[in-house]
Structure 1
């Protein structure tokens, strides 16, 4: 009988071999190098195999994996995945210690780490290193995210349900320490986080170097998100990194590599106007998990409520004469209009009425079917299609979804939004990248509205077309672009280009790159001069990011052509991965300690590191006994559907491997039971709704409707044309009486003009901090006012200021 001597325990009373995780992040300008050290210890009486499945940023380039056992350091090599697995199995069978790190076959943002044949009492320190680019946010912050949460992947195809080894986040039996060092040519103004951090410590007088640490007592209930702000806005830049001295000249690692960060500037007259045409299609996730809380505070509402408010703002911000439709999906999908409808007061009111009734009640996260339906609808002439996708979920068919968007990229732009901790970066970023749009993540206590409205502004800008990149280099020097072609450019957003520089020149030490494109029919270009002299002490960060970009591009190009059958393309990816030491979908890191052990008799004991269970769902949940195997949620209606995570491989008979996910590994189960609180996407079907939940055989009363935010209350009263009407609801939204509004109305002013001026003055004077949210609908209101040729606007503005206690100038209203 197997027993545990001591140590941390899982709900199944098995020891947890992972003791601690230490993460150190080194940020240089907009690139981060992340080093994670994981300490394992076997406190049992028999050898074990520890399996740790964890999330990873989808754009990360994993470039180092090593293990230290006692005084022995074993550095892993990158090898073809099948060969690496065989070497791992062979090593364990012969009693040697082995360490395997591999990317999921289904999604590039999940990795599996196997620590094999750890003898009783033995410890192993695992070092994992990756480099990644940091995204630019709407407020110009750079975002770094350490994914601590990996949601279960919903499998739309026939699949076996699974049991999840999980514990509440407060009981995760391993520690996390997290520290960041920031260095930039520009001063660091501040560092913010979704988690509690110690105060920022500046390391030099000009504040270009700083460090910050995660406060003690962090719980594994959210991603660790950092927002880094520099004092100056982002400027175009270029870094040339010298090649590796030991690598073959002419190879990617042997030649210098250039990284260009471009921030295109568009003409101001184009940026100050927005398009009045377009077909805007909104695709909203209504799976059960959308009832989970947006943030971590007691005042944070459910994601579906925030999504409803966001759709209100979006609908009010659309221009008259455009077309729109709203789809929602779960296990099934619904649409408001049979086909996209012209935007006017009638269709807007009909859509808002249906949006108000939307709840997180459609079951799972099956996004492929509604996407196929949307793409089957013919495009409307002279109305460019703009697709907005909102989801908190993760799917098992990520690559298939992204390929569908890519195959339709010529007919639309796709803007994607990942809601809540654990949203798949591979899915969200992949949709936007292949759809020529922009990706946003809404986590912690972020407001969804300003980020979504920023993307709407991008969508309403004219599409940048005919993008080309030309080089002016010294004679004898040539550039080979390693990045995929630029397909989208947005004002204020960074575009990255990697290029391999071949050859040398003694004549010139500078080069120039020019990005040309057409915007609103106007030829435009941006130039950047750069030095060809390699940067000092740059290491190989740029080379690894370039290799990762090229590998991902090759994988994506071959995906639609069934690259698994294209041996030449597969070999090219494997060769590039091995040469650069960067992981790919066809390779894995393998390390074997050849000085260890005797052949093992019988199977190793498998120990899955437990998953921190998300506890943020707002819906009532059954009582649970956390000390036992948790089997509290039965998804009776969805027996053919279930949670699974990308399969890593079928393992040898001594320790069978199943689909794996989160920080846990999942083992196949015969029934539809899902352990832990991970069945939200499946349980919310026809047996449940968002107002009544079954608990102990009785039904809970509906929750009272929360009071709407005053800003959204005012916005809800705006008409499709852009004006407001003088009505009691407007007086209430402005915290006044109808008598107040009528008494202060200038005699020569029309009632709708007066009502609209009141709303605009209130927004500018009392809600200036939310300008990012209301700017587009205010522009529409100003356009409506100008169309009225109304008299007495100055008097209306003065009267509104007096009534509301503001001091807004007429010019500020765009009149």
Structure 2
């Protein structure tokens, strides 16, 4: 069943979803998405319902409304979170139709709808803004509308609704996307659905005739069937990686919002002598599942990424380790990282090939703490986290990473990079770890087989030195305005020692002028206690917003080849000139600078009564994110010892931003109340409310709540419904017959809960019951992505390994990937195969030539190296592979570039020549 959840006699049921429509506006690298969902209460009772939906963590919900059957519109307003809850509860008690939308985590939201009458149709409309992520190539970017929330491990927020199973009932679906690019659009691909694409601006724009035709496109998709997978568009536009700063003028305020993006291109000396630690998620949610006949899965994607990452490590003065985690964690080498050489590379590869998703739950925080504790503090350390991030412990994880990074020294820094795996990967977790870890994040979707370039970007960033004091410079007038704002706030900084001495002298002067104190005053009871009320908390005095509000406040993720997004709100708008300068410096003192022109966007300034202009909205969301991360000056301007005052001041600042720019956040929520005269029938009807279930379940539209009395682990591990419930979902493989019910909670179609995992990874991965994940939750479109019994180390239910596969240190118990006919390999598969033929020093074996096409079928005998006829077979094979990369796989350079760099260094060292001479030899072979 798709729809709003309510309870009947303690059993979950839904108000069915009838129609879904999504309308998106993409401007450069940002987007506004409006989703409309139509529900109908076919029951005979008045209902209170709830549902959960996903939003990318880099996005922000900025508008919310309900539409009644008579066409009247109930607009949501932003209130402080507790105030919004009280408003909603009061309205429901009065018999009014009302709705409340609040944030559970930065990437999950819950909506409640109260007093839906029998036979009543309710339309819920929500809008969010988001920045877009990098595409597969440097000149492309990706637009993604998530359709479900992954089943997350741990205790969900109290507002998150419980889940129910899915049925085969469908709903009409449509999507319309309007695209405005900064340069001509060369291609629009939709990898998920059949769409129609039309070039040119929307004719409804008032200035459509004057807009550059090639910079605009429109995409639409309509179907009578329910959405069965996420919507994914990839837009290719020339020069999308070039620096740009888009400005949006607020139509009602004297302010301007900027969206700055740049993919840095500069060459810096690499960080040497690093330690690399790969932290791999092997929880049940990373388990095997089918994609047609490929048998791919998240753990398979993790293994593939590791093979390339390991072979791209610097071969000189490098140490590394691999740590697996789930309910517990285990290191390849328990005594710490080892030197990178051929022997350790072979051992690590064997270990990677044996990896299965059989480590139970997702205890990511304890695994990170372990890595930070055992890291080599005498070296710079880069940690790579490969995970789907499906856990609720976000605050604890981010706090752990932030503290560890802050405690590292400048000479031996700690940085954390993330690779999010899977469609339902928690963007809040994956982006958050990279953000506070001074690293970068990349994503690979389910079934993606060509993502090597994304792993290469991560490693390239890790090998680059961090840019210090990176900042945006708006010119002298902006600097003067900022200084004046600081003076106007009346914050006085007093030296601590000077202040203490001054107070002591004042106290001494006051005491000398007073009469002597009577040592025996009979009116005084020395045992009396002051039982009066506690002193009131200091009131929050929130300073005015500064003229320049920039996010991120501290730019730490500035790396070559990795896109930087930065935002700002400038008030008054006159402080913004025709250019912005991005500045920074290296530890050596070398200064860096880039001037970026400011350009006006054609259509982003539009706003309605329901929402603010969207660059303002997304900039405000980034400002809120900084405040939540502790990036502010309140602690220094207030009493440092009064943590409560600082916390309340931060909350007040978040509430001010939320209300000013109409945003849902950690401290603000949307509430919509029908202010029309209360319908007598609505007020008198028996109302079925949404009580908290016996145990909270973190999913929606997929998996029954745990049985009463179940273990705590079962709160986040639900089995999938029976196979028959998925007959309409072509993208979801049929589930096997469910196991016998174990105290099932709910209707017969509700599946039984999984048994709890062992305390540590068991020697056997049989059965798929321990640590396997439940169903993915229904999201914006109410779609359930099945995760049937057998996920993770199962007994081959979906073609996975047989029971008895070992875990942990038992390298080699699972066979390496089966070899395929080289002629049938895709480009990415060829790169993966070639990577396995490269040793730690960069040399390719002669066996690698079988993957390089017919030109090199004869082996090294056909490789002629003019001037170096005595070169070894290994050198010749390496040169041939380099020539093959450039000649046949040029479009995939980002994927093999790290491998080629090591290979070039190897050849140069063997022949005693410079890198330029190696390139000459490669060019000769290509000819």
Aligned residue in 1 for 2:596 = 528
**Is residue 114 of structure 2 the alignment partner of residue 116 of structure 1?**
yes
Aligned residue in 2 for 1:545 = 618
Aligned residue in 2 for 1:669 = none
The answer to whether the 8 A contact 1:152-1:643 is kept is no
**Is residue 825 of structure 2 the alignment partner of residue 706 of structure 1?**
no
Distance 1:662 1:186, change over 3 A: same
Aligned residue in 1 for 2:92 = 92
SS in 2 for 1:310: helix
What is the deviation of 1:388? 1.1
Aligned residue in 2 for 1:803 = none
CA distance in 1, matches of 2:856, 2:180: 57
Give the counterpart of 1:213 among 198, 211, 220. Answer: 220
Give the counterpart of 1:485 among 533, 554, 558. Answer: 554
CA distance in 1, matches of 2:573, 2:303: 58
The answer to whether the 8 A contact 2:583-2:594 is kept is yes
CA distance in 1, matches of 2:343, 2:436: 34
Distance 1:220 1:401, change over 3 A: farther
Aligned residue in 1 for 2:39 = 40
Which is strand-richer, 1 or 2?
1
Aligned residue in 2 for 1:596 = 678
Give the counterpart of 1:567 among 642, 645, 648. Answer: 648
What is the deviation of 1:259? 0.6
**Is residue 844 of structure 2 the alignment partner of residue 760 of structure 1?**
no
CA distance in 1, matches of 2:689, 2:643: 37
Give the counterpart of 2:900 among 778, 783, 790. Answer: 778
The answer to whether the 8 A contact 1:241-1:258 is kept is yes
Aligned residue in 1 for 2:801 = 691
The answer to whether the 8 A contact 1:240-1:256 is kept is no
Aligned residue in 2 for 1:178 = 175
The answer to whether the 8 A contact 1:509-1:532 is kept is no
SS in 1 for 2:417: strand
Aligned residue in 1 for 2:537 = none
Distance 1:456 1:198, change over 3 A: same
CA distance in 1, matches of 2:900, 2:443: 25
Aligned residue in 2 for 1:610 = 701
Deviations along 1:528-587, whole A, 9 cap, x unmatched?
354799998443222212221122221221899987993332223223312321111122
CA distance in 1, matches of 2:917, 2:62: 66
Give the counterpart of 2:663 among 562, 565, 582. Answer: 582
What is the deviation of 1:395? 0.2
Distance 1:284 1:74, change over 3 A: same
Give the counterpart of 1:432 among 431, 434, 438. Answer: 434
Distance 1:452 1:125, change over 3 A: same
The answer to whether the 8 A contact 1:477-1:501 is kept is no
**CA RMSD, Structure 1 to Structure 2 (Å):** 4.4
Aligned residue in 2 for 1:361 = 358
Aligned residue in 1 for 2:502 = none
Aligned residue in 2 for 1:233 = 240
What is the deviation of 1:693? 5.3
The answer to whether the 8 A contact 2:148-2:777 is kept is no
Aligned residue in 1 for 2:65 = 66
CA distance in 2, matches of 1:471, 1:795: 45
Distance 1:319 1:537, change over 3 A: closer
Aligned residue in 2 for 1:514 = 581
CA distance in 2, matches of 1:87, 1:683: 48
Distance 1:120 1:85, change over 3 A: same
Deviations along 1:191-231, whole A, 9 cap, x unmatched?
22231232311135732221112352665443212222223
The answer to whether the 8 A contact 1:242-1:534 is kept is no
**Is residue 373 of structure 2 the alignment partner of residue 376 of structure 1?**
yes
Give the counterpart of 1:318 among 313, 316, 329. Answer: 313
What is the deviation of 1:392? 2.1
CA distance in 2, matches of 1:305, 1:493: 25
Distance 1:235 1:393, change over 3 A: closer
**Is residue 471 of structure 2 the alignment partner of residue 468 of structure 1?**
yes
CA distance in 2, matches of 1:362, 1:556: 30
What is the deviation of 1:125? 1.7
Q: Within 5 Å, which residues of 2 pair with 1:256-405?
A: 256-263=255-262, 265-267=264-266, 269-270=267-268, 274-293=270-289, 296-299=291-294, 301-320=296-315, 321-337=317-333, 338-381=335-378, 383-405=379-401
Distance 1:790 1:232, change over 3 A: closer
What is the deviation of 1:181? 0.7
Deviations along 1:60-96, whole A, 9 cap, x unmatched?
2212111121132211111122222222222222211
**Is residue 511 of structure 2 the alignment partner of residue 420 of structure 1?**
no
Q: Within 5 Å, which residues of 2 pair with 1:616-695?
A: 621-623=736-738, 628-632=748-752, 634-637=754-757, 662-663=778-779, 677=787, 691-692=801-802
Distance 1:721 1:504, change over 3 A: closer
The answer to whether the 8 A contact 1:68-1:126 is kept is yes
The answer to whether the 8 A contact 1:287-1:684 is kept is no
The answer to whether the 8 A contact 1:155-1:643 is kept is no
CA distance in 1, matches of 2:563, 2:644: 30
Which deviates further from its counterpart, 355-364 or 573-582?
573-582
TM-score, structure 2 as length reference: 0.72
The answer to whether the 8 A contact 1:17-1:609 is kept is no
Q: Within 5 Å, which residues of 2 pair with 1:194-213?
A: 194-203=191-200, 206-213=213-220
TM-score, structure 1 as length reference: 0.81
SS in 2 for 1:441: strand
CA distance in 1, matches of 2:72, 2:157: 46
Distance 1:541 1:563, change over 3 A: farther
What is the deviation of 1:421? 1.2
CA distance in 2, matches of 1:163, 1:584: 22
CA distance in 1, matches of 2:328, 2:734: 21
Aligned residue in 1 for 2:444 = 442
Aligned residue in 2 for 1:134 = 132
Aligned residue in 1 for 2:567 = 498
What is the deviation of 1:710? 4.4
CA distance in 1, matches of 2:90, 2:748: 35
The answer to whether the 8 A contact 1:240-1:534 is kept is no
CA distance in 2, matches of 1:264, 1:769: 18
What is the deviation of 1:117? 0.7
CA distance in 1, matches of 2:62, 2:179: 21
Distance 1:428 1:570, change over 3 A: same
CA distance in 1, matches of 2:791, 2:566: 39
Runs of 5+ unmatched residues, structure 2: 1-7, 202-211, 407-412, 483-546, 608-612, 636-641, 692-698, 704-719, 721-725, 741-745, 761-769, 805-813, 821-828
The answer to whether the 8 A contact 2:702-2:786 is kept is no
Deviations along 1:640-688, whole A, 9 cap, x unmatched?
999999xxxxxxxxxxxxx99644999xxxxxxxx97466678869x99
The answer to whether the 8 A contact 1:189-1:231 is kept is yes
The count of residues paired between Structure 1 and Structure 2 equals 745
Give the counterpart of 1:125 among 120, 123, 126. Answer: 123
Distance 1:501 1:537, change over 3 A: closer
**Is residue 872 of structure 2 the alignment partner of residue 750 of structure 1?**
yes
CA distance in 2, matches of 1:468, 1:512: 14
Bigger radius of gyration:
2
What is the deviation of 1:236? 3.0
CA distance in 2, matches of 1:739, 1:812: 15
SS in 1 for 2:53: strand
